[in-house]
Amino acid sequence: MKFSIVIATYKRAPLLKDTLASLAQLQPHEPWEVIVVDNNSPDDTRAVVEAAAATFPAPLRYAFEREQGRSAALNCGFALATGEIIVTTDDDVRVEPDWLTRIERGLADHPCDYIGGRVTPLWESPRVPRWFPPTTGLLWAVVALLDYGPTAVPFGNRPPLGVNMAIRRGALERVGGFDPRVGRKAGTLLGQEVREWCMRARAAGLAGYYVPDVVVRHLIPRDRLTKRYFRRWFYWRGISRAMLYAQSGLDMEKPEVRALDARLVPHVAGVPRYLFRTAVGALKDSVRARLRRDYSTAFERELWLWMFAGIIRQRWKDRTIATRLTEAA
């Protein structure tokens, strides 16, 4: 088997049905399979997969993962996959017939162990808010869109998105799967599993490339294009970053750039003191931008403060747990 496409899904059977219909149009030159991992869906996800499997042009397998979370579901799929190239995507995408062929070419043309490509929007609603930027930027990550430009480049400070990522089997065996502790779970917006995996891959001497002609279209629901959702997403981003900091000492602003020695950095309530200065600067920037009616910049700087609130919440929680363990000991 050349390709194994792994999809984690949770109670989105209608979207999954359309995604499988899109995947059925693939025309690779090598054998391929699709593995759908149901993460405790209460709907008819299994029936959708089994119905599609009857006429699907490649092996389409259903799997069930009881442990809640996208990382746990994908790891289940990785264990079942038989392909030389493991491809991850979501249950709400559309692909072109040559998607797998482009993935194979991208891995062959670049000295790397994994690749990621562009993720373009498929808007559920034609009305996109004015504050949402038309080109790639910080806010694009909230709705899982990605475009690093027209040229293939090594992944550095910016990771790929799991909705459009391909990994050689040997790399996955060497590095391991995604960390369920920092991955998406129902009821949360945790989402640092791909970033954390890429940092482990880099530490193991593996390399990844952004390949622009490997493209998927990602459905963007209208309820995610609200300021409320963006604020909540950045709040959970702060929680995720604080969890990475507790695990590995990685900088919470730019974890790919630097690691911190917690013994040498002054802290306030478990949070590096310099982040409080950054927060004050973000607040001033937001107010100034609002006064000059630059509402897009004002909102972007406001979102940094929501991330900071998530950091404070998680670091306070970590301190409380540590104190209790010390008292118990």
If asked whether residues 174 and 266 sit together in one domain, one would say no
- Cα torsion at 186, 304, 229, 237 (round to 10°)? -10
Are 216 and 115 in contact by the 8 Å Cβ rule? The answer is: no
If asked whether residues 201 and 300 sit together in one domain, one would say no
CATH number of residue 136's parent domain: 3.90.550.10
Which range among 63-72, 133-142, 313-322 has the greatest average pLDDT? 63-72
Task: Tell me the CA distances in angstroms from 196 to 67, 183, 244, 264, one per residue in order.
Answer: 20, 9, 8, 23
The predicted structure's pLDDT at residue 329: 53
If asked whether residues 269 and 136 sit together in one domain, one would say no
Positions of E strands within 270-328: 271-272
Of 194, 224, 254, the last residue of a domain is 224
If asked whether residues 150 and 198 sit together in one domain, one would say yes
If asked whether residues 11 and 149 sit together in one domain, one would say yes
Total structural domains within the chain: 2
What's this model's pTM, rounded to 2 decimal places?
0.90
313: amino acid identity, one letter: R
The predicted structure's pLDDT at residue 94: 98
The predicted structure's pLDDT at residue 128: 86
Name the residue range of residue 279's domain: 227-328
If asked whether residues 219 and 250 sit together in one domain, one would say no
Q: Return d(Cα 125, Cα 135) in angstroms, integer.
A: 18
Q: Return d(Cα 283, Cα 308) in angstroms, integer.
A: 11
Whether 169 has a pLDDT exceeding 90, the answer reads: yes
For the chain, give the percent of residues with pLDDT over 70.
95
If asked whether residues 86 and 117 sit together in one domain, one would say yes
Dmax (CA) for the chain in angstroms is: 62
Are 212 and 149 in contact by the 8 Å Cβ rule? The answer is: yes
If asked whether residues 231 and 216 sit together in one domain, one would say no
Whether 59 has a pLDDT exceeding 60, the answer reads: yes
If asked whether residues 62 and 175 sit together in one domain, one would say yes
pLDDT in tens, 283-311: 999 999 999 988 888 999 999 999 999 99
If asked whether residues 63 and 46 sit together in one domain, one would say yes
If asked whether residues 249 and 308 sit together in one domain, one would say yes
If asked whether residues 61 and 182 sit together in one domain, one would say yes
